Chain A
Amino acid sequence: QQQVKQSPQSLIVQKGGIPIINCAYENTAFDYFPWYQQFPGKGPALLIAIRPDVSEKKEGRFTISFNKSAKQFSLHIMDSQPGDSATYFCAARDNYGQNFVFGPGTRLSVLP
């Protein structure tokens, strides 16, 4: 129940494409869902986050869609650029323990 599933494991798109990364969870105690972007050799950096009372949140070219009934959420990257090539992690916060559970990550490559 503490798992967050993430797919796909890797993704290759052309510049300008719209990669979509999907995550799913079971634990209804999760109350906050951030996404992190990690470049090789660097720490994960917070990208965008959403609460379950909101169905969509957009920040720049990044959009989170949230489906509370299905317990699924996804990240869309509009007009993707080679500089977006990184590993993306979805996460969920457990409201009881204030702990964060991470998905296994998606390695995105945006081709020029």
Chain B
Amino acid sequence: DSGVTQTPKHLITATGQRVTLRCSPRSGDLSVYWYQQSLDQGLQFLIQYYNGEERAKGNILERFSAQQFPDLHSELNLSSLELGDSALYFCASSDRGPGNTIYFGEGSWLTVV
């Protein structure tokens, strides 16, 4: 158990709909990262937050947005969903120490039908 909690674990929704994925980082971690992993694909970096502020942005679509709240949990909002958005979405967290690394949650499986 990495200590990173993601909900929901599985989600099935229709095209055009909007969903919100939630992430609770490890206790004490200030950074949250979101990654997308399509079937048999690598980890595509979407966005990073540090202590509530956006730190880095990757290949995140305009239909997607995220935020990190004062209690450090984060939400990834996916709207106008398309079939191609079906993927495993991972949240990861890290502290900012010199030996830091990132720890992944178990992911949220999104299926768009």
Contact = CB atoms under 8 A, between A and B. Distances in A.
B18 interface: no
In terms of DSSP, what is the predominant structure of the interface of chain A? strand
B101 A49 contact: yes
Interface in A81-112: 89, 93, 97-105
Contacts of B90: 43-44
A32 B94 contact: no
B56 interface: yes
A32 B56 contact: no
Interface in B57-103: 88, 90, 92, 94, 96, 99-103
B24 to A, nearest CB: 14
A54 to B, nearest CB: 13
Interface in B14-53: 31, 33, 42-43, 45, 48, 50
Contact of B42 (A46, A100, A103): A103
A71 to B, nearest CB: 20
Contacts of A42: 106-107
A100 B102 contact: yes
A2 to B, nearest CB: 10
Interface of B: 2, 4, 31, 33, 42-43, 45, 48, 50, 55-56, 88, 90, 92, 94, 96, 99-107, 109
